[in-house]
Structures are given as C-alpha cells and as structure tokens.
A and B are shown apart, each in its own frame.
Chain A
Amino acid sequence: MYGAVWRLLPGPLAIRLVVALLLLLAVVTACFLWLFPAVAPYVPFNQQTVEESTP
C-alpha cells in the first residue's frame, strides 16, 4: 500500500520526501477538520447531561 504510493511519487528522493510529507499533512488536516469531529459524539466521554434516555 505505502510501497505503491512511494513508487508512484515522481522525482528524486528529496522531492519524494517533501511530497510524502505534504500528503501526510493533508490526511492529518482532513482528520482534524472533518473525520474526528464527526466521530467525537460516539466516544464515551463526551456526554455531560442528564436525560430521560441516554443517546
């Protein structure tokens, strides 16, 4: 999986490293902005209220 990505990257080693880092950064950013906020309500330590029936 990662080997295939690495082989697809163009240019010499330095360029590949930079592009790989940028890709990683993009993935982390996407996680922080969209994925994690969407998942957060389902983890067990995010409920603070008393309610008739717990969600």
Chain B
Amino acid sequence: MIRVLVRGFGELLVTAGALVLLFLVWQLVWTDVVADRAQTRTTDALEQQWDAAAEGDRPQVVAEVDAPEAGAVVADLPSDVVAVLRVPRFGEDYVRPVLEGTGELVLQDGVGHYDGAALPGEVGNFAIAGHRTTWGAPFNPIADLVDGDAVVVETAEQFHVYRVASTEIVLPTDVRVIAPVPSRPGEEPTEAWLTMTSCHPMFSARERYVVHALLESSTPRADGPPVALQAAGVG
C-alpha cells in the first residue's frame, strides 16, 4: 500500500517536471515561431492592401476589378492595425505590425499602441509596447538601440522617421514615460515623440526598458521609402 502511494507520488512529480519543461518549450520556442509567422503575414497583407489602395487613388486605373482581391486581403488582417514598424538597427528585413491596444492578446499579434496615445507623426507621444522575449519578440533587440538610430513608422499615407533620443529603465508603474511629453506628465506637447516599452531584464517583469525617439520627418508613402530605410537596404 505504502509502496503504491510512494510510486504514485513519484510519478506525479515526474509528470509535473515534464509539464514544466514542455511549457518552457511552448513559451520560448513555439509561441515565437507561430507569432513570427503570423506577424509577417499581417505586414505583408497590410502593405499589399495599402499598395492596392494607392493604385486605386490613381484616376487612370479602373479599381473595380481589383476590389474583391483587396477584400480577401483584408480578411487576413487582425482588427485595428495602426501602422507598420521598421527599425534598421534590428535588421534590414525587420517589419512588424503595430496594433491598437496593449492587451495581452494584442501583444501576441504584434506591437501594441497604447490606448489614447498620439497617432504616428502626431504631436504628442506615439507610445507602443512589444514583447522582448516570446510571442515573436518584436522588441527583442531593443537594448541595441543607440541615440540617433532611425525608427520608421509606415502608415497607409506616410512614412514617419523618428530618431532615438534617449533610453531609460524604469519601474513597471512609471507611466510618465508614455505621457504626451515623455517624463513630464501634464505638460502640453509641442513635439512628436515615439516611445517604445518592453520588459527588462529579459524574461522578467521587474522593470521596463524604455526608448524615446523624436520625429525627424514625415514623407508621403507615394514618394517611396525614406532615406533612413534606403541606407539600410530596405525598399
């Protein structure tokens, strides 16, 4: 009897250990692979849709024929896509979708835009959050960013180029970093900022790694990728 109980307990412990290992495999490898693929699909579909819309704007093109195709592309998109993010420092082919909201499910599908924060290129603070590990880890190399690095935000109409101005490590409760004027809550904004937040240290929720960037230029999307991207070989 006692032997049976002891053996059963031992098997339970072994099972628990195997489950924990399996969870780590799922969290560290599986979510990354799945989310990476999904996020790439989102940006691809989005750019196609924007290109199609731009084509449609030109008067000489008869848009009716393309309409069903464009509709099919839309079906692939998660709701509320705000923009497409490119960071040359993160790699030439680094492209991630920015979605509305910073809920846990949103951040599994891409970079999240804080509710109520300014929109791309707007005066105020375009504040975004992203995973640094797991779920495609869009902000994995965030600590590689140095002052002057370009962060490019592409919308349906424009390319916005921001330049990194400062980085800091703060407590998770430090919401002043996403204020319209970063670190000065309550002040009236006169400049267009971009703020990225992610966890710090990696695999921990103890602090947040924060990067602030200032808008350098906004150019029409029709004019093609800005110099900051061309230098990196994108576009």
Binding site for B on A (CB under 8 A): 1-3, 28, 31-32, 36, 39-41, 43-54
Contacts and interface: CB of A to CB of B under 8 A. Distances in A.
A39 B7 CA distance: 28
Given A31-B23, A45-B203, A51 B8 contact: no
A31 B26 contact: yes
Contacts of A32: 26, 30
B178 A50 contact: yes
A39 B26 CA distance: 11
Interface of B: 7-8, 11-12, 19, 22-23, 26-27, 30-31, 102, 104, 107, 112, 114, 129-135, 139, 170, 172-175, 177-178, 197-199, 202-205, 208, 210
A51 B210 CA distance: 13
B170 A45 contact: no
Given A28-B22, A31-B23, A32-B26, A45 B205 contact: yes
Given A32-B30, A45-B203, A50 B139 contact: no
A1 B112 CA distance: 45
B197 A49 contact: yes
A36 B25 CA distance: 10
A45 B12 contact: no
Contact of B172 (A39, A40, A47): A47
Given A39-B23, A43-B27, A50 B172 contact: yes
Given A36-B27, A44-B204, A50 B177 contact: yes
A49 B102 contact: yes
B19 A46 contact: no
A12 to B, nearest CB: 25
A52 to B, nearest CB: 6
B27 A40 contact: yes
Contact of B198 (A31, A48, A51): A48
9 contacts: A32-B26, A44-B204, A47-B172, A48-B139, A48-B198, A50-B197, A50-B208, A51-B172, A51-B175
